[in-house]
Structure 1
Amino acid sequence: MKHIDTHIHMYPEKLMNAIYGYFQRLGWEFPFSGNVEETLLHLQENEVEKAFLLLYAHKPGMALEINRWAYELCRKNPHIYPFGCFFPDDENPEANVRKCLRDWGFSGMKLHFNVQPAEPDDPRYFPVYRQALEYGRGVIMHIGSFPDQSGNQPGTYHLQKVLKRFPGLKVIVAHMGCYRTEDFWRLMDRNPGVYLDTSFILGNPQFPDGHTLVADSLARFPHRILYGSDFPLIRHRLSDGLDYITRLPWDEKTKNNLLRENALRFLTQSDIAACKHL
């Protein structure tokens, strides 16, 4: 079943190994932990037609080089759509965003407000939103405490302030906005440019009721819920998650929207055209 995966991760080998190591020290075991070439092959074997490559930087001085690496990777693999990383305390962070969106044709930027303990309405992030609007791109956000259920998650309040200041901004909220999905529904009612992705939630045995959350979201927003896996940082096999989706008693139109069409709606023609010159 060919599909678009809107949430995958790849990094230079040393950094990717460090990320694997971090989660393994927390007791997480991954069925797949291959290198970039093996990851690309595995995606192909699982019928991933296109994928959104999500990047993040956890300290100053990393973002530009990670983005440069991703540019070279995606230039050779044009079915991979990069979303660049940003660190607000870099020497010239605005130039990094411009390089990604204007010069390299990235599809957008990824902001991870756990790795960078800040809130979306922090003015240091305004260059990302301003240039995303200028170049017609999107922003993917990891907001709040997920995967820590006990943490504070006032993400919708801060995101609403961003959307009021930057009307028309396209945003994907990762991981279904867990654990406050219904709060994000209310925000989506008022902001048609806000989407949710299903990464780590749908098809994951750790979230046995994830299909109910996704089904309720699709019923309310049939064109704004996007399939994403979080591969390879998942504790189940990618194929098992996809098989689970095929067995769900949903009609083909719903599955097609989730697995392909909604991602294409998010990727405007300008996004697609820009990525073709990578």
Structure 2
Amino acid sequence: MTAPREPPGPAHAHPEDDAPVPCLASSPAPSWREQGIQMPMPALADEEGPRVDPGLPPVVDAHVHLFPDRVFEAVWRWFDRHGWPIRYKLHTPQVVSFLLSRGVERVVALHYAHKPGMARALNAYVAQVAKDEPRVIGLGTVYPGEPDAVAILEEAFALGLKGVKLHCHVQAFSPDAPQLHELYEACARAGKPLVMHSGREPSSPQYPVDPHQLCAAERVERVLKDHPSLKLCVPHLGADEFDAYARLLERYDTLWLDTTMAVGGYFPVPLPRKALEVRPGRILYGTDFPNLPYAWDRELRALAGLGLDEAALAGVLGGNTLSLYAEC
């Protein structure tokens, strides 16, 4: 069942975006909507651990968000209204300190520009954070289709940023849209991974477009075919098309998936075990911290309890992420 929309008025992606883009053809795959999963979702009052279990392999969080203060605060307001209550409203220095002090060894810092003209300032911000704290692996962003988009990425790489983050829902594009090709080519030329939220979920009816109209695993497969040297990571294990992304993982050596919000049981769907087990060397542990409605280590504990063999667990919790970014 589709979540009800608010009364007529402009739709806004977080933090604010009033330039909707026409929707494209949707995928026929079964959806969370048909299962009645709706936004906003509730917070959980689950207990958090004091730090990473010392018996675990080294932990690297491949999906941490860092923004300037005002952007962070706008993101939190949007999530509180339209996504889920944010448990950890921490600004950038506190985010980094929180995770590192609890035994997370490194973090991959992601951000995204919700409108044209933001990316250069955001990239400079994250580049400085990564320069000040070497345990932060900073990624850049760009708004697809904005003027000088390729130059913005090249400048981000020159600042030392190790990849790119794009978000189909917030930035209102389909993975196979024409304006993306030059960005894919720029990433491939530079050997920089691209992290792209191209799965249909988690989604909200308050995005400027319907993610179910923009996003589908077959669209991502077109990208993988058209850009065979592009290193692509899809967050959330490709939610909600878990099986389709598991099949893509079997077929393509340039695809990775991260576990963000997909294994901790927050969403009432079965654990996507096939996506985790078909090729564990291509799975990255990620959280979405600090934008969480539950304990920071919920998914870490869930992954540790899945019974993965020692080598697979070491890869998922950190080794795979370090290998992906090692030569960037």
Instruction: Give TM-score, length-normalised by structure 2.
Output: 0.76
Equivalent residue, structure 1, for 2:312: 254
Determine if contact 2:140/2:161 at 8 Å carries over to the other structure.
yes
Q: How many Å separate the matches in 2 of 1:41 and 1:3?
A: 15
- AA matched with 1:224: R
Of 220, 229, 233, which aligns to 1:168? 229
Residues 4-153 of structure 1: matches in 2 within 5 Å? 4-26=60-82, 28-101=84-157, 103-148=158-203, 151-152=212-213
Structure 1 segments unaligned to the other structure (5+ residues): 272-278
**Which structure: greater strand fraction?**
1
- The 2-side partners of 1:9 and 1:88 are apart by 19
Structure 2 segments unaligned to the other structure (5+ residues): 1-55, 205-210
Does the C-alpha gap of structure 1 residues 207 and 196 become closer, same or farther in structure 2, counting only changes over 3 Å?
Answer: farther
Distance 1:133 1:256 in 2: 27
| 2:255 is the counterpart of 1:194 | yes
What is the RMSD computed on CA atoms of the aligned residues? 2.0
How far off its partner does 1:95 sit?
A: 0.8
TM-score calculated relative to the size of structure 1: 0.89
| % identical aligned pairs | 28
**What's 1:245 paired with?**
303
Structure 1 residue 249: Cα displacement: 3.0
| Cα distance in 2 for residues equivalent to 1:266 and 1:35 | 27
The whole-number CA distance in structure 1 between the counterparts of 2:200 and 2:141 is: 19
CA contact (8 A) 2:119 2:142 kept: yes
* Deviation string, structure 1 residues 205-256 (Cα, Å, up to 9, x no partner): 335743xx1x322321121111101111111111333233333333322211
Contact 1:86 1:111 in 2 (8 A): yes
Match of 1:274 in 2: none
Structure that is richer in helix per residue: 1
CA distance in 1, matches of 2:314, 2:96: 23
Contact 2:110 2:165 in 1 (8 A): yes
Residue 226 (structure 1) aligned with residue 226 (structure 2):
no
For 2:84 and 2:203, the matched residues in 1 are separated by 14
Distance 2:299 2:257 in 1: 18
Point out the structure with max Rg over C-alpha. 2
Tell me the distance in 1 between the aligned counterparts of 2:239 and 2:92: 29
What letter is aligned with 2:90?
G
Question: 2 CA distance for matches of 1:118 and 1:223?
Answer: 29
Contact 1:144–1:152 (8 Å) recurs in 2 = no
Distance in 2, matches of 1:31 and 1:154, equals 28
- Higher deviation after alignment, 58-67 or 181-190: 181-190
Q: Distance in 2 between matches of 1:258 and 1:68?
A: 29
What is residue 276 of structure 1 aligned with on the other side? none
SS at the partner of 2:114?
A: coil
